[in-house]
Amino acid sequence: MNVYIIGIGLIGGSMSLDIQEKYPEAIIYGIDANETHLEEALQGKLIHKKAILQDVQFADVVIVTIPVHVSVGVITEVLNTINDDTLVIDAGSTKEKICESIATHPKRRNFLASHPIAGTEFSGPKAAVKGLFIGKTIIICEVEKTAFTLQEKALEIFKNLGMRIRYMDSKSHDKHIAYVSHLSHISSFMLGKTVIEKEKNERDIFDLAGSGFASTVRLAKSSPAMWTPIFEQNKANVIETLEEYIANLQEFKNLMLQDNFEGIYQEMENTNHIKKILKGIK
């Protein structure tokens, strides 16, 4: 099986490691605009060989794991180049614009829109880890538009990598993911910004930071090059979630101004229900 991975970073590199373990016969080719990343991927044995985009004509599977604003054009070029039996998978954090961009492509049947809900705050080939996807959910959008035999091939790969499969339309995906992922990153970035600005005047503030602060701002270490295009492509949904979030923050502030700590207690107790919702999620 010839597997071409476009974008050898955290997601692409981690997929490569697990595919090599589950499919020992697979030959992994790496395509990346960053030559340093390709060299690191070779040295780290994430890939067997380097390749260029035109080489996907020889692929059995193509996995696209690059920033979403770039993937729109790259997926089209890949579909223009592949043979009729090639499976093309993407792993982008937004789905609607990607699906719209290739909706009428003659080889739309070769493409499977997916989003593995997995990752860390790190990026690049050195961030790749084995077993990243075990027990994680992968969302598949517009599955009915992918050829059945290629669906089966993709599902086999996902299951062998340990993922749970969930189906959703692309519009719903982008709306829901704005709440549970995109807003989390914005909150983390802005909390980090607030504390950094305060630290300019109070040099001891980071000495007081504990594990709670570290875990809350962990996502602020994520790559701006990856996340800015995500916010751009999902702008309408992100703005909607921000408006709701800001309204809740304002309400909390008003309770503080009113010395209504019984109200604050009630707000937090009501929100504690999230423990049951998130039980078992790692």
Residue 202 has pLDDT above 70, yes or no: no
Do 31 and 162 lie in one domain? The reply is yes
Task: Say if residue 203's pLDDT is above 70.
Answer: no
For residues 63-81, average pLDDT = 95
Whether the per-residue pLDDT at 117 is higher than 80: the answer is: yes
164 & 188 share domain:
no
Same domain as 245, residue 209: yes
Q: What pLDDT, on the 0 to 100 scale, is given for residue 121?
A: 82
Q: Which domain holds residue 231?
A: 173-277
Instruction: Specify the pLDDT at position 114.
Output: 97
Residues 21 and 161 in one domain: yes
For residues 13 and 51, membership in a common domain is answered with: yes
Given phi > 0 = left and psi -120 to 50 = alpha, else beta, which region is 119?
left
Mean pLDDT of 200-224: 76
Whether 141 and 192 map to the same domain: the answer is no
| 109 and 140 part of one domain | yes
Whether the per-residue pLDDT at 209 is higher than 70: the answer is no
* Predicted pLDDT of residue 78: 98
Q: Is the pLDDT of residue 107 over 90?
A: yes
Q: Are residues 107 and 6 in the same domain?
A: yes
DSSP state letter for 25:
T
Helix %, strand %, coil % of the chain (to 5): 55, 15, 30
Q: Is the domain of 155 the same as that of 215?
A: no
Last residue in a domain, options 168, 200, 229: 168
pLDDT of residue 14: 96
Could you tell me if 100 and 153 lie in one domain? Answer: yes
Listed residues 168, 199, 230: the one ending a domain: 168
CB atoms within 10 A of CB 88: 26
Q: What percent of the chain has pLDDT over 90?
A: 81
The answer to whether 113 and 93 have CB atoms below 8 angstroms apart is no
| Token pair 């996902």 in the structure block, residue | 158
**183 & 241 share domain:** yes
pLDDT > 70 fraction of the chain, expressed in percent and rounded = 95
Predicted TM-score of the model (pTM): 0.86
Number of domains in the chain: 2
Asked if residue 233 and residue 184 are part of one domain, the reply reads yes
Write out pLDDT tens, residues 119-140.
888 889 999 999 999 999 999 9
pLDDT in tens, 11-21: 999 999 999 99
Q: Residue 188 corresponds to which tokens in the numbers above?
A: 């983390």
Domain of 237, CATH number, reads 1.10.3660.10
- Collect all residues with Cβ–Cβ distance below 8 Å to 82 and sequence separation of at least 6: 56, 57, 59, 62, 88, 107, 110
Maximal CA-CA distance, the chain? 68
